[in-house]
């Protein structure tokens, strides 16, 4: 059976829909395809009609030349909603996907019911920069054997307490779903150029902001900025690193279901 595709300006986007109930759109982060929702997908699909997809630049979606912008990625999200026959949805975005979700709520408020922003940032010079630990890892990565570098990135995205079995599980998925370097760079450019700091007051959708307390990829203080500046936002801090919902899927699923109820 052919995988359904959405199209935005000639760019094809692979997507899936699972479950039934109120519509919920999931927007993934840098370098992760739709497989990255594995630990929370089925629990959310028990309650929601979940639409999830590969961003441009990764997975089964097209990889057009970059750099990309958050607005382009938000336009892609709208194309997925259109293709899935969804007029208005709750939206959950993580990391780069959280930036896309902010842009989506600002540019297309009529398409967003409620918003969940996980381990993300408003971007721009007024936000807190990437923590030094991750900056140093990114600088060192090109000197490391590729699989070792990938393992280091997985470990870095989890808290120090995360079990080795979880590192191996995510590493295996990343090795089985390799990203295109040009697509990764084009996505990274969208995150680097993103700046919604002075526009956050324009987000009308009720918003839940969630951050892992041990996140060393996106400084958790950026979640505080989001919660302070989005008029209807509330902040939840949970244990774990940048991939906190892999460390404790039940925690995020519980928060999301309670908020979207």
Domain boundaries, given as residue ranges, for the chain: 5-130+180-260
Q: Residues of 119-146 as b/e, b for ≥16 C-beta within 10 angstroms?
A: bbbbbeeebeebbeebeebeeeeeeeee
- Convert the pLDDT of each residue in 128-139 to its tens digit: 999 999 999 999
Q: How does pLDDT run across 46-76, given as a tens digit for each residue? A: 999 999 999 999 999 999 999 999 999 999 9
Given this model, what pLDDT does residue 20 score?
Answer: 94
5-130+180-260: CATH architecture: 3-Layer(aba) Sandwich (3.40)
pLDDT attached to residue 141: 94
pLDDT of residue 3: 78
| pLDDT for the residue numbered 115 | 98
Query: What parts of the chain have a pLDDT lower than 50?
Result: none
What is the predicted pLDDT for the residue at 1? 58
The most distant pair of C-alpha atoms in the chain lies apart, rounded to whole Å, by: 48
pTM: 0.97
């Amino acid at each position: 059976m052919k995988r359904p595709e959405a199209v935005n300006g000639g760019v094809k986007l692979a997507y899936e829909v699972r479950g039934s109930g109120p519509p919920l759109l999931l927007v993934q982060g840098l370098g992760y395809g739709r497989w990255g929702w594995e630990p929370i997908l089925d629990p959310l699909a028990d309650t929601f009609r979940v639409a999830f997809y590969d961003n441009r630049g990764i997975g089964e979606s097209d990889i057009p030349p970059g750099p990309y912008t958050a607005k382009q990625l938000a336009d892609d999200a709208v194309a997925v909603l259109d293709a899935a026959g969804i007029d208005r949805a709750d939206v959950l975005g993580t990391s780069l996907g959280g930036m896309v979700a902010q842009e989506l709520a600002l540019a297309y408020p009529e398409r967003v019911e409620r918003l969940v922003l996980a381990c993300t940032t408003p971007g721009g010079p007024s936000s807190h920069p990437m923590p030094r630990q991750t900056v140093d890892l990114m600088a060192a990565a090109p000197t490391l054997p590729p699989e070792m570098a990938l393992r280091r990135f997985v470990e870095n995205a989890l808290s120090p307490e995360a079990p080795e079995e979880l590192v191996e599980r995510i590493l295996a998925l990343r090795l089985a779903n390799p990203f295109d370097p040009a697509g990764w760079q084009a996505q990274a450019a969208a995150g680097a150029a993103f700046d919604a700091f002075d526009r956050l007051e324009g987000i009308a959708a009720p918003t839940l902001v969630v951050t892992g307390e041990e996140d060393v990829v996106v400084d958790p203080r950026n979640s505080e900025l989001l919660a302070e500046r989005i008029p209807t936002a509330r902040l939840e801090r949970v244990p774990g690193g940048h991939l906190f919902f892999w460390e404790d899927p039940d925690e995020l699923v519980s928060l999301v279901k309670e908020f979207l109820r």
